[in-house]
């Protein structure tokens, strides 16, 4: 299943170090299907599964994702069974509180980071489900559905959290919980219009990655684009809704930075005829690959990852 696919790509990369793939194997969820679509277009693995807001492929070949609003689960794709779970809606003192989980990550020490919207905190839990660390989140407009979107650890030992309701990225020190950097996504002179589709507009961001050069790459959600900002908060690169020929961005979600420097951008709620994923070369803004499976996965593919880039890309 997944592990043989990864092994095959690793072997090919060793034989041809300079090989650059123009297409990809994609793990995604949509229309109640969790699936892998091979580069040739065939669906090579799938299981029935509801909506998610984050997804990871672990080193052991398992899938880390969400079940329901508040449970993080690890799935063995061979057996299609859940082998580990943590329910933020029922554990850790959250009983009776509306909790939604939109971000999580398996840490190097084996613990799992979980961002709990509604509880306004990041927790790190061990394999037994015991909380080892708590970091309170700074949120101006509290809402269990929009407190956070994606949260990612950085090489500097911090967490980058995207706060959809506030329109801000905040960087938290993992030891002290202090906010060490904050950036409000600009509206670029436009008036906000609510929603997530292509006609909406705002700064309800979804994702943020810390690049090797120290800048931060941000998927602006209903801002319909991606921006790169410096530590001094200067926008030094951007792609907007209608910058690419025959492509219209809507709810910009996941980001992957590939080893060759290309960006892969998630394009949710864009409607039929528009790609769910776009890979582009940021230097010249040329599109090198798109993924359009609207008929199979519908209009709400919020999360995906490239199986052939697992462990190699920044995401």
Whole-number pLDDT of residue 14:
32
Among candidate residues 139, 158, 184, the one where a domain is terminated: 184
Given a cut of 60, whether residue 10 has pLDDT beyond it is no
Given a cut of 90, whether residue 1 has pLDDT beyond it is no
CB 95 within 8 A of CB 87: no
Residue 8 lies in a domain: no
Find the CATH number of the domain harbouring 100. 2.130.10.10
Sheet holding 226-229, edge to edge: 207-210, 216-219, 226-229, 235-239
153 and 209 belong to one structural domain: no
Among candidate residues 124, 157, 184, the one where a domain is terminated: 184
Instruction: Summarize the confidence of residues 92-113 as an average pLDDT.
Output: 97
All residues at 6 or more sequence positions from 246 whose CB lies less than 8 Å from its CB, including other chains: none
**Rounded Cα–Cα distance for residues 150 and 52 (Å):** 12
Among candidate residues 138, 163, 184, the one where a domain is terminated: 184
**Residue found by looking up tokens 């060759």 in the block:** 260
Nearest one of 83, 116, 73 to 98, comparing CA atoms: 116
What is the pLDDT of the chain when averaged over all its residues?
Answer: 93
Q: What is the pLDDT of residues 36-70, one digit of tens each?
A: 999 999 999 999 999 999 999 999 999 999 999 99
Selected residue with higher pLDDT from 15 and 200: 200
Given a cut of 80, whether residue 17 has pLDDT beyond it is no
3-state SS of 7-25 is HHHHHHHHHCCCCCCCCCC
Residue 14 lies in a domain: no
Q: What is the pLDDT of residues 160-194, one digit of tens each?
A: 999 999 999 999 999 999 999 999 999 999 999 98
Whole-number pLDDT of residue 137:
98
Q: How many domains does the chain have?
A: 2
**Residue found by looking up tokens 């890979």 in the block:** 279
Sign of CA dihedral 29, 31, 33, 36: negative
Residue 123 lies in a domain: yes
Residue 111 lies in a domain: yes
Whole-number pLDDT of residue 195:
87
Residue 52 lies in a domain: no
Given a cut of 80, whether residue 89 has pLDDT beyond it is yes
Domain around 128: 65-184
CB 77 within 8 A of CB 1: yes
């Amino acid at each position: 299943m997944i592990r043989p696919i990864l092994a095959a790509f690793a072997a090919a990369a060793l034989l041809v170090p300079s090989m650059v793939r123009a297409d990809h194997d994609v793990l995604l969820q949509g229309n109640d299907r969790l699936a892998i679509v091979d580069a040739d277009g065939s669906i090579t693995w799938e299981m029935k599964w509801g909506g998610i807001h984050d997804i990871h492929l672990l080193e052991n070949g398992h899938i880390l994702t969400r079940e329901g609003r508040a449970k993080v689960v690890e799935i063995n794709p061979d057996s299609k069974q859940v082998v580990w779970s943590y329910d933020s809606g029922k554990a850790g003192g959250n009983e009776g509180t509306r909790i939604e989980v939109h971000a999580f990550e398996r840490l190097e020490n084996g613990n799992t980071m979980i961002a709990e919207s509604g509880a306004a905190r990041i927790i790190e839990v061990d394999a037994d489900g015991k909380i080892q660390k708590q970091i309170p989140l700074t949120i101006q407009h509290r809402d269990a559905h929009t407190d956070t979107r994606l949260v990612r650890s950085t090489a500097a030992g911090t967490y980058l959290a995207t706060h959809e309701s506030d329109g801000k990225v905040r960087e938290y020190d993992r030891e002290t919980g202090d906010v060490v950097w904050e950036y409000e996504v600009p509206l670029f002179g436009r008036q906000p219009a609510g929603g997530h589709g292509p006609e909406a507009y705002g700064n309800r961001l979804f994702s943020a990655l810390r690049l090797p050069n120290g800048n931060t790459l941000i998927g602006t959600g209903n801002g319909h684009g991606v921006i790169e900002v410096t530590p001094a908060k200067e926008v030094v690169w951007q792609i907007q809704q209608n910058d690419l020929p025959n492509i219209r961005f809507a709810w910009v979600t996941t980001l992957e930075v590939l080893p060759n420097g290309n960006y892969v951008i998630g394009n949710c709620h864009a409607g039929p005829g528009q790609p769910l994923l776009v890979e582009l070369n940021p230097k010249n803004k040329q599109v090198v690959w798109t993924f359009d499976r609207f008929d199979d996965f519908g209009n709400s593919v919020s999360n995906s990852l490239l199986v052939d880039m697992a462990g190699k890309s920044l995401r």
